[in-house]
Amino acid sequence: MVVLFCLLLFQGSVPQALSSRFVVLLLEQRKSNITEVKLQMPIVDGKYEAKIGTTFATVEEGTAEIKRSIQKSRRIRISNIPMPLLEELKPLLKDKDLIIILPMNEKPTEELKQLAQTATTKARLYVDYKGEEANSGSINFANTIYNITWINHKILNISTMEYNKCVKCLAGTFDGGWRYAQKW
């Protein structure tokens, strides 16, 4: 027997909710166990709409937003970011639930080992950035992943992934990377 439940989640008054500020969740239930959750995008002006991410105009703007996210977050996962950026972020990372995977051939300092569980990737992670092979790193938070594209410790681009399903999926790739990385 399949039973479908429809939940309206919204903030504010009922008229606001009915005007498009809501999310509809459909839960499929088989016997007493929920087996699947489907998220339907809100409809705005008769069209489905969802923000996927942001590409920052400047590296400085992206770095400032990363710092704000670090200050608000308790759990952070860092993978393959340039070492100068990691050094810049280090004072903000104290007292966080933190795991760091360093880029290939990098070794952690004693200070970094005290700050977090640390490992070094065994795989080269890269993207094609305007015709050049550039390293790809990430900083994962609960609702957002910051993607950092860099070559020779110079950051070329910072963007985010904010769509919840994608964030959760990509967070799982961190766990796989941690499993195979060289632990310190």
pLDDT at residue number 24: 34
CATH superfamily label, 59-183: Endonuclease Chain A (3.30.870.10)
Q: Find the mean pLDDT for residues 160-166.
A: 85
Report the side by side order of strands in the sheet with 33-40: 2-9, 23-30, 33-40
Do residues 136 and 125 touch, judged by C-beta distance below 8 A? yes
pLDDT, tens digit, 9 for 90 and up, residues 112-121: 999 999 999 9
Please enumerate in sequence order all residues whose Cβ is within 8 A of that of 117, keeping only pairs 6 or more positions apart, or say none: 98, 99, 100, 183
Alpha-carbon gap, residue 76 to 117, rounded angstroms: 11
Do residues 166 and 138 touch, judged by C-beta distance below 8 A? no
Alpha-carbon gap, residue 105 to 61, rounded angstroms: 29
pTM over 0.85: no
Residue 8 has pLDDT above 50, yes or no: no
Ranges 24-28, 153-157, 176-180, most confident: 153-157
Domain ranges in the chain are 2-48, 59-183
Residue 30 has pLDDT above 70, yes or no: no
Q: Please report how many Cα atoms fall inside a 13 Å half-sphere around the Cα of residue 53, on the Cβ side.
A: 14
Helix (H, G, I), strand (E, B) or coil at 136: strand
User: pLDDT higher for 167 or 131?
Assistant: 131
CB-count exposure of residue 55 (10 Å: 0-12, 13-18, 19+): exposed
